[in-house]
Structure 1
Amino acid sequence: MDLLPGVRAAEVQGRVRTHYLESGPADGEPVVFVHGNLSTGRFFEHLMPGAPERWRILAPDMRGFGRTEPAPIDGTRGLGDWADDLVGFLDALGIDRPPHLVGWSTAGAAIALVARARPVASLTFLDPVSPYGFGGVFRDGRPCFPDFAGSGAGVANPEFVQRLRDGDRSEDSPLSPRTVMNATYWRAGHREPPAREDLLVDEILLTQITDDGYPGDAAPSEHWPGAAPGTRGLLNALSPKYCDWSWLPTLRDRPPVLWTHGGQDVVVADGSALELGTLGAGGVVPGWPGADVFPPQPMVSQIRDVLEAYRAARGRVEIEPFPDSGHGPHVDAADRWAATYWAFLESLR
Structure 2
Amino acid sequence: MKVTTPRLTQHVLTGRTTGEPVLFVHGNVSSSAFWRDSLAALPEGYRPLAVDLRGFGETDPEPVDATRGLRDYSDDVLELIEALDLDGVHLVGWSLGGGVVLQALRDRPAAVRSLTLVNPISPYGFGGTEGHDGHLTHPDGAGSGAGAANQDFVARLKAGDMSDESPTSPRNVLRSSYVKNPAVPDEDFYLRAMLTTRVGEAHYPGDPATSDAWPHVAPGKLGVLNAIAPTHFRLDDLHEITPKPPILWIRGADDVIVSDTSLFDLAHLGTLGAVPGSPGTPAQPMVSQTRAVLERYGRYREAVIDDCGHSPHIEHPQTFLRLLAAHLREA
Structure 2 length normalisation: TM-score? 0.97
Alignment of 1:209-288 (within 5 A): 209-288=199-278
- Counterpart in 1 of 2:309? 326
In the alignment, structure 2 segments of 5+ residues that lack a partner are: none
SS of residue in 2 equivalent to 1:231: coil
Whether 1:128 and 2:120 are equivalent positions in the alignment is yes
- Which of 162, 169, 193 lines up with 1:203 in the alignment? 193
Q: Deviations over 1:75-128 (max 9, x none)?
A: 111110111000111122222x11000111111121112113332001111110
2: CA distance, partners of 1:224 / 1:79? 25
| Unaligned segments of structure 1, at least 5 residues | 1-9
Distance 2:79 2:217 in 1: 34
Q: Deviations over 1:289-314 (max 9, x none)?
A: 11xxx210111111111111111xxx
Instruction: Determine the structure 2 residue equivalent to 1:154.
Output: 147
How many residues align? The count is 327
Counterpart CA distance in 1 for 2:157 and 2:169 is: 8
**Identical amino acids, percent of aligned pairs:** 45
The residue correspondences of 1:36-115 to structure 2 (distance < 5 A) are 36-95=27-86, 97-115=87-105
- Answer yes or no: is the 8 Å Cα contact 1:271–1:278 preserved in 2: yes
* Deviating more after overlay: 78-87 vs 139-148: 139-148
Query: 1:6 is matched with which residue?
Result: none
Contact 1:271 1:277 in 2 (8 A): no
Q: Which residue of 2 aligns with 1:18?
A: 10
Deviations 1:210-249 (A, max 9, x none): 1000000011211111111100000000111111123211
Aligned Cα RMSD in Å? 1.0
SS at match of 1:236: helix
Provide the rounded CA distance (Å) in 2 between the counterparts of 1:295 and 1:30: 41
**Contact 2:39/2:49 (8 A) holds in 1:** no
Q: 1:115 and 1:151 mapped to 2: Cα distance?
A: 24
* Cα distance in 2 between the residues matched to 1:151 and 1:48: 33
Any idea what the Cα deviations from partners look like across 1:22-41, whole Å, max 9, x if unmatched? 112x2321100100100111
Equivalent positions of 1:185-196 (< 5 A) are 185-187=178-180, 189-193=181-185, 196=186
User: C-alpha separation between the residues in 2 aligned to 1:338 and 1:101?
Assistant: 14
Give 1:304's aligned residue: 291
1:181 aligns with 2:174: yes
